[in-house]
């Protein structure tokens, strides 16, 4: 089995998937951040394809940055100057070849994540 990376963004304040969130993927190597990809969440809060597919998978430390501010502004009518959350960074280690699923549970004033399946 080869490894791959997926995500899912749920708007916990509205009880529905968060559509249109920009997601940036970085690989961290020591002091270096290597930008690998930009994707956007679809109407189900997922990306249309794995963020890191099997043919690109490598073990190591990664960072997903969820650009949540624009989504929050659009879905709540919040003014940018009143945003609490804008960019949500999540750093994690993929230590073996497996399916890594990193969901984001998002609201205008907080978030959580976990290793999903």
Contact indicator for 33, 55 with CB cutoff of 8 Å: no
Domain boundaries of the chain, sorted by first residue: 4-113
Task: Reply yes or no on whether the pLDDT at 1 is more than 70.
Answer: no
pLDDT tens-digit series, residues 68-112? 999 999 999 989 999 999 999 999 999 999 999 999 999 999 999
Token code pair at residue 101: 């699923």
**First CA to last CA across the chain, in angstroms?**
15
This prediction has a pTM of 0.94
What is the DSSP code (8-state) at residue 101? E
| Mean pLDDT computed over 43-56 | 96
Per DSSP bridges, beta strands 99-101 and 4-6 are parallel
pLDDT tens-digit series, residues 22-33? 999 999 999 999
pLDDT of residue 117: 85
4-113 classified as CATH 2.60.40.180 = yes
């Amino acid at each position: 089995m080869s490894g791959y990376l997926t995500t899912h963004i749920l708007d916990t304040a509205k009880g529905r998937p968060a559509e249109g969130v920009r997601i940036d993927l970085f690989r961290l190597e020591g002091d270096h951040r290597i930008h690998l990809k930009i994707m956007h969440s679809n109407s189900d809060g997922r990306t249309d394809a794995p963020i890191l597919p099997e043919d690109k998978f490598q073990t190591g430390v990664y960072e997903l940055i969820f650009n949540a501010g624009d989504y929050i502004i659009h879905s709540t009518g919040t003014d940018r100057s009143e945003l609490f959350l804008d960019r949500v960074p999540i750093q994690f280690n993929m230590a073996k070849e497996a399916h890594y699923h990193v969901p984001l549970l998002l609201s205008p004033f907080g978030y959580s994540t976990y290793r999903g399946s």
